[in-house]
Amino acid sequence: MSKITTSLVAVALGIAIAAPYSASAQVAAPSKPDAAQKVRKVACVGDSITQGVGAGPGMSWPDQLAKMLGEKWEVKNFGVSGRTLLNSGDFPYQKEAAFKNAKEFNPDGVVIILGTNDTKPQNWKHKKNFEADYKDLIKQFAELPSKPKIFICYPPYIAQNGNFGINEPNIKDEIPMIDAVARATLARVIDVHAALAGKDALIPDKVHPNTEGAGEIAKAVYQGLTGKAYGAADAGK
């Protein structure tokens, strides 16, 4: 997303936005909740991990995030399995109907978790385009009438030696690229990678988190959106 100004992030979404886990982030001042405020719409953009592969039915991280945030939020899942951030990748996200649908949703906020499939050898050879393609994706969301706030996430941790050609070393190489994109676009960064790092038991096939692992992603995103760590007592508030 971003015609984003860090000083107005909380005001535009009507929430207190957490400072991204990235060191370059600035803390936005929390705003007071408005009981009469309209429902805030959040589009969750991503690949199979966002779609919910590996998690139980109805327990993808967007599903769990929606339960955490409650009825004053409308969270929609626009994840598509196997898709890449790279427009030169084997299955680019921007060519999917889900991308069009996410824009038509006209969200107040967009959370993007892409990059996992980009680590595959056939896609990684195009890594020089990663930053430019990410900026292009953000620009298209930022130009929507709703002027959404964009949150870009470090891709989830890949356990052990990975799977399906997806691997942790290339994920780590993407992190400084994402930081550079965030600086250039003023998008906010959410560190989903740290939320799962070392928790191999939550990633049975080494790539897709199970229901509990998806919950860890949801908690990280919740903190990015609200500015506070999630606790069970916060559900639906």
Confidence of residue 22 (pLDDT cuts 50, 70, 90): very low
Distance CA 228, CA 237 (A): 12
Calculate mean pLDDT across residues 192-212. Answer: 98
Quick check: 78 and 98 in contact, CB under 8 A?
yes
Question: Domain for residue 197, yes or no?
Answer: yes
**Has residue 108 got a pLDDT over 90?**
yes
Residue 33 belongs to some domain of the structure: no
Alpha helix (H) residue ranges in the chain: 9-13, 48-51, 61-69, 97-104, 121-124, 130-142, 168-185, 192-196, 211-226
Query: Mean pLDDT over all residues of the chain?
Result: 87
| pLDDT over 90 at 113, yes or no | yes
1 falls within a domain: no
Read off the pLDDT band of 39 (50, 70, 90). confident
In a domain, 31, yes or no: no
Res. 48: pLDDT tops 90? yes
Domains held by the chain: number? 1
Rounded to the nearest 5 degrees, what angle is found at the Cα of 213, between the Cα atoms of 210 and 219?
140
132 inside domain: yes
Residue 234: which pLDDT band, with cuts at 50, 70 and 90? Answer: low
Range of the domain at 118: 6-26+39-230
| Structural domain contains residue 237 | no
What was the pLDDT predicted at 235? 62
138: pLDDT strictly greater than 60: yes
Give the percent of the chain with pLDDT over 70. 82
Residue 35 has a pLDDT of 38
Whole-angstrom CA distances from 222 to 36, 67, 131, 163, 230 are 21, 10, 25, 28, 7
